[in-house]
Structures are given as structure tokens and as C-alpha cells.
A and B are shown apart, each in its own frame.
Chain A
Amino acid sequence: MTRRIYIPLILTLVFLALVAIVLVLAGHQVSKTIEEAFSGASDVRTARIMVARTISLQLDEETGVRGYATVRQRILLQPYYSARAALPVSFARLRRVLTDLKMPGTRAVLEDAVRTNRRWVAVVAYPIITFRRVPARVQLRGKRLVDRFRTDLDFVENSLADRANQAQRRAQQAIYGVTLFAIGAVAAVIVAATLFTIQQYRLAARLERTRERAEEERRRAAESRSAYEAEKRIADTLQGAFTQNLLPRMARVLFSATYLPAAEEARIGGDWYDVLELTEHRVLLTIGDVTGHGIDAAVAMNRARHLLISCALVDPNPGAILERANADLFRKASPLITAVTGIVDARNCEFVYATAGHPPPVLLEPGCKPRMLDFGSLPLGVVGDAKYRSHRISSVPGAMLVLYTDGVIEHSHNVVEGEALLLQAVEAAAAWPAHNAAAMISASIFSNRRVVDDVAILTIRFAEDAGSTVGRVA
């Protein structure tokens, strides 16, 4: 933004500086031209005065000689002698001025006039003054010489007049040019000032718009943040309320569970699990995930949990539970929900379950590798009449079942790799007779991985002896 402010200012200053420099140079040139013109005019004026003076002196010469020739009175020669004394000086000054004015052609004509005057003195004036009788042809020749002299000086006079006119024209042109330039410079300054003002106005308007936009963005961000924080608080509260905190105590079955919220706050979603004692030996298990995040997902999760439990109370067959719940969710246009519902019978280590678009349970039996159980039906809420098959697993004492949500295996976006990690973690956790297998599995997977989505893990371990245990959330 600083560059935007200074660039027009700098450009305007540079432009004005250039105008000023050109003005100074032009002014200097005009001043020089005018000075030369006036100086030349002075010389020309002097020369023209000298021409007039010379003509006057020559006239005095001629008048004196003519008068003397007529009446023969010596006194009439006075103007002749005066002019004879003054003419060389006058010629010399004219020569100097013409040299200064650099008018060699005119000076040559002046020299011709000087020579003509000398000849007139020699062949006309001198004989008339010296001799009493002078032939008429001398007087006639005298007239021709005087005419030639006058013609020469007229030429000099005309040349000087032309020079005076030229100098005057040059001075006028110079003044005219500088006037035009001054007008142009003033116009340029006005244009530059106008452009600069417009630029400044636009810049100010742009700055104002940017400031208003930034203010608007700040206000929206604050509103979004406020709304987001409010939603997050509500979602966290709902999530906390919905998450099972106490697992049932049962003889011969050990439960453990863990729940990890997404590291990224906005990803907090609708994962849940439930463990509900139906009889002394039978337990209902549900685990699921509502598509989406935030309050809507949390509310949908709550509805689904209660619906599944209600359906289990009507008909505790896992497939039937899912079908009944699905029909209701589809009718109410629920978000898609993936879930596993199962019934555990502690007396014979039996596990009956059904899946709805959810990753399969893992079963680890003593002396065996952990394995994924059968799975595969549409999520709840996709098709109203979807069918869900119940799978029956007859296991053995010491076996462990693991139910989980997709965040457990999709952290790297490679579900095959995620499944392998889960099976390793289950195997490692089962090797320890601990009460917190779910937390151990979670720690094993996420010790050096980011929890990008909610994670819920529920484990059910059939006891190898007759002791009863207490489950807890890690």
C-alpha cells in the first residue's frame, strides 16, 4: 500500500522537475536570443545613424564644391573641408560596426563607396578647387560618382534595415515561443496536479474500501468464531452427555471403552457406543457413527441411540433391531448412520450381531490371530426396506471382541493399512490381562498419529475364570 501512495507522488514530482528544467533552459535560450536581438539592433541603429551621417557629410562635400564652382568664394568650401575631415572617421566607425554585425558583403559595398568618394575628390573636387575652368565632362563624371556613392550607401542602409527587421522578428518569435511554452507548462502542471489529485482520490477511495472490507471480514470472522464456539460448546456438551461413562459390571465379561474426540475441533462428530444389560447374562451392545459433524450429528446420534435401544427391547435380534430402526430413520430423513448392534451372552460366550455400513468387529480368541468378522449391509437411513443379517459367533472363554468406529482405521486414508494396525494393536492389548484394553488399543494406534476423526472403541472380553470384573472408560 505504501508503494501505491508514493509512486504517483514521485512521478508527479519528477514530471514537475522536468518541466522546470525545460523552462529554465528555454528561458535561458530565449533570454540569449532576445539579448542578441537587442544588442544587434543597437549596432544596426548605430550603423544606420552612421550611414545617414556619412551621406550628410558627402552632401556637405558636394554642396561646398558646387557652391565654390559657381561663385568662386573660398568661404563656400568650408563645408567641404569639414566633411573631408569627418568622413574618414565616419567610414572607420561604419567598417567596425559592419564587422561586428558580421556583414562582409555590406562592408565590401561600403569599401566601394569609400573608393568612389576618394575618386570623386580626386577627379572632380580637386580640379574644381584648383583650376578656374573645369570641363563639363568632369562635372558629369562627378554626378555619376556621386550617384554610385549614394547607391552604395543606400544598399548599406537597406541591408541594415533588413538586419534590423530580422533581429526584431527573431526576438518576436522567441517571445512568442516562450509564451507558448509557458502556457504549455502551466497546462502540464495543471494536468499533472489534476491527475495526481484524481489518483490520490482513487487511492483514498481504494484504501477506504479495503479498510471497510477488512472491517467486514473481521466482523464476519468474529461472528463465525462466536457461532462456531457456541456450536462447539453445545456439541461438546451433548457429546459428553451422550458418551457412556459407566460400563456394566458382569460376571465373566470384562468391558472397556474409550472415546477420543477429533484433534481438529470442527471434526467432532456423532460417534457413540452403548452397553446395556438386558438380563443377568445378556448384554446389548451398539456402536455407531452419524454422518456429519456438529450439533446436527450429535442430535441425530442421540435419536439413533435411543431408537436402537427401544427396538432392542421390542425384539432383541440384532438384524431385526437394525431393520426396525432403519425404517424409522429413513421415514424421518435422518442423516446416514453406520452401526453395529450385538447381543453378548456371557454364559456360552456367544455373540450375535448385525452391521449397517460399519467396519466389522474384530474377534481375538486365545491361541489365534485376531480376525475381522463378517459384515456388509447398507448404512441406516439409505433405503427404507433394507435387510440386515444377524451373524452368530460362538466363541470361547478368554476371547476378546473389539467394536470401533471408522476413525480407528481411516486415520491415514488407507483403510487396509488401518485394519492391519488395528489387528496388531488388538493382539498386543490382549496379551495383557488389563482392564483397559480399549485405551491400550487406542494408545497403540495413535501414540504417533493424529486423531483426525472421532474415535470410539469398545472391547468385550470373556473371562477365563469365574471372577467378575468392572468395566470403565479410559
Chain B
Amino acid sequence: MSDAIEIVALGGELEISRKREIRDAFTLPDGARAVLVDLSTVTYADSTALTELLRFCVTAQRDRMPIAVVIRTRQFSRLVQYAGLAGAFAIFEDRDAAVAYLNERVKP
């Protein structure tokens, strides 16, 4: 995996009580060229957490930074479909596929 790919990993239930943790996780260091959002163990996200995820994805896309989101649980996948992410961003069930997707886009 390329060093330029920054990984954001969160798990469990993402709720407003974890807002600071979520915001911190979605703060990228300078120099990141692509980001892998690993939410493979997330089972639920309230509207606050979904908003943070959406804004992060939109900002990355606006900055032309390749972004891939890994989602595995059925419950969270359904929530993400509601939020319209599935049509707007690259969503993967398989982390390797997500990494391959990003590697393809960060090639010099």
C-alpha cells in the first residue's frame, strides 16, 4: 500500500457522544494524497456521525483527493445507502479492493 494513503478507521456505533473522536479521526495530516476510510466494523451511525462522514467525503472529493470507504455490516451499509453515499463515493466491502482503487489513483 502506498505511503501516501492515509487511513481513517472507526468502529462500533458512531454517535454524537463520540463526536470529538470522530472529528479527530477525520482530520487528515498534511501531505496525504489519498484516504481510506475503514468503517468495516461500524454497525450504526447517527445523523451527526453521518454528517461528519459526508462532509469529510465531500471535502476530499472537492480537493481532488481519492477516497474509498470500506463498509461491511449490513446495517451500516443500509444507512449509508439512505444517506446517498453509495452513489456519490467509492464504497467497498473489501479493504484490498479499496486499497487497489486508491493505489491506482495515486500513481505518480
A residues bordering B, Cβ < 8 Å? 289, 291-292, 335-336, 338, 356-360, 375-379, 382-383, 406, 410, 413-417, 419
Judging by beta carbons under 8 Å apart, are B82 and A357 in contact? yes
Neighbouring A residues of B84 by C-beta, 8 Å: 356-357, 376-379
Judging by beta carbons under 8 Å apart, are A416 and B81 in contact? no
Neighbouring A residues of B51 by C-beta, 8 Å: 291, 335-336
Judging by beta carbons under 8 Å apart, are B83 and A378 in contact? yes
Determine whether B103 belongs to the interface, using a CB cutoff of 8 Å to chain A: no
Determine whether B43 belongs to the interface, using a CB cutoff of 8 Å to chain A: yes
CB distance from A346 to the nearest CB of B (A): 28
Given contacts A382-B54, A413-B43, A416-B75, contact A291 B81 (CB under 8 A): no
Judging by beta carbons under 8 Å apart, are B82 and A375 in contact? yes
Q: Which B12-71 residues have a C-beta within 8 angstroms of A?
A: 13, 43-44, 46-48, 51, 54-55, 58
Q: Please, could you name 8 A-B residue pairs with CB atoms under 8 Å apart, sorted by A?
A: A289-B47, A292-B48, A336-B51, A377-B84, A378-B83, A378-B88, A383-B58, A413-B43
Q: Which of A292, A335, A375, A413 is B81 in contact with, Cβ under 8 Å?
A: A375
Neighbouring A residues of B90 by C-beta, 8 Å: none
Determine whether B87 belongs to the interface, using a CB cutoff of 8 Å to chain A: yes
Judging by beta carbons under 8 Å apart, are A415 and B79 in contact? yes
**3 A-B pairs with least C-beta separation:** A378-B84, A413-B44, A291-B47
Neighbouring A residues of B58 by C-beta, 8 Å: 382-383
Judging by beta carbons under 8 Å apart, are A415 and B75 in contact? yes
Judging by beta carbons under 8 Å apart, are A414 and B75 in contact? yes
Neighbouring B residues of A416 by C-beta, 8 Å: 74-75, 78
CB distance from B33 to the nearest CB of A (A): 22
A410–B75 Cα gap in the complex (Å)? 10
Q: Which of A377, A382, A419 is B55 in contact with, Cβ under 8 Å?
A: A382
Given contacts A336-B54, A382-B55, contact A414 B82 (CB under 8 A): no
Determine whether B7 belongs to the interface, using a CB cutoff of 8 Å to chain A: no
Neighbouring B residues of A291 by C-beta, 8 Å: 47-48, 51
CB distance from B19 to the nearest CB of A (A): 12
Neighbouring A residues of B78 by C-beta, 8 Å: 415-416, 419
Q: Which residue of B lies closest to A377 (CB)?
A: B84
Neighbouring A residues of B9 by C-beta, 8 Å: none
Judging by beta carbons under 8 Å apart, are A414 and B54 in contact? no
Neighbouring B residues of A417 by C-beta, 8 Å: 75
CB distance from A460 to the nearest CB of B (A): 21
CB distance from B61 to the nearest CB of A (A): 9
A28–B27 Cα gap in the complex (Å)? 80
A416–B58 Cα gap in the complex (Å)? 26
A340–B75 Cα gap in the complex (Å)? 21
Q: Which of A335, A358, A383, A413 is B82 in contact with, Cβ under 8 Å?
A: A358
A377–B87 Cα gap in the complex (Å)? 7
Determine whether B8 belongs to the interface, using a CB cutoff of 8 Å to chain A: no
Determine whether B86 belongs to the interface, using a CB cutoff of 8 Å to chain A: yes
Q: Which residue of B lies closest to A378 (CB)?
A: B84
A356–B87 Cα gap in the complex (Å)? 12
Known: A379-B54, A413-B43. 18 other contacts (CB 8 A): A289-B47, A291-B48, A338-B82, A357-B82, A357-B83, A360-B82, A375-B82, A376-B81, A376-B82, A376-B84, A378-B83, A406-B47, A406-B82, A413-B44, A414-B44, A414-B75, A415-B79, A416-B78
A168–B30 Cα gap in the complex (Å)? 91
CB distance from A240 to the nearest CB of B (A): 22
CB distance from B89 to the nearest CB of A (A): 10
Judging by beta carbons under 8 Å apart, are B43 and A376 in contact? no
A12–B83 Cα gap in the complex (Å)? 69
A338–B83 Cα gap in the complex (Å)? 8
A336–B51 Cα gap in the complex (Å)? 7
A378–B79 Cα gap in the complex (Å)? 12
CB distance from A453 to the nearest CB of B (A): 8
Judging by beta carbons under 8 Å apart, are A376 and B87 in contact? yes
A379–B58 Cα gap in the complex (Å)? 12
A167–B86 Cα gap in the complex (Å)? 108
Judging by beta carbons under 8 Å apart, are B13 and A413 in contact? yes
A464–B71 Cα gap in the complex (Å)? 44
Q: Which of B47, B75, B86, B87 is A336 in contact with, Cβ under 8 Å?
A: B47
Neighbouring B residues of A378 by C-beta, 8 Å: 54, 83-85, 88
Interface centre among B44, B79, B83, B87 (most CB of A within 10 A): B83
CB distance from B64 to the nearest CB of A (A): 15
CB distance from A331 to the nearest CB of B (A): 15
CB distance from B85 to the nearest CB of A (A): 8
A188–B85 Cα gap in the complex (Å)? 77
CB distance from B43 to the nearest CB of A (A): 7
Neighbouring A residues of B13 by C-beta, 8 Å: 413
Given contacts A291-B47, A336-B54, A378-B88, contact A359 B82 (CB under 8 A): yes
A410–B58 Cα gap in the complex (Å)? 25
Q: Which residue of A lies closest to B74 (CB)?
A: A416
Neighbouring B residues of A383 by C-beta, 8 Å: 58, 88
Neighbouring A residues of B47 by C-beta, 8 Å: 289, 291-292, 336, 338, 406
Q: Which residue of B lies closest to A419 (CB)?
A: B78
Neighbouring A residues of B81 by C-beta, 8 Å: 375-376
A358–B46 Cα gap in the complex (Å)? 13
CB distance from B71 to the nearest CB of A (A): 13
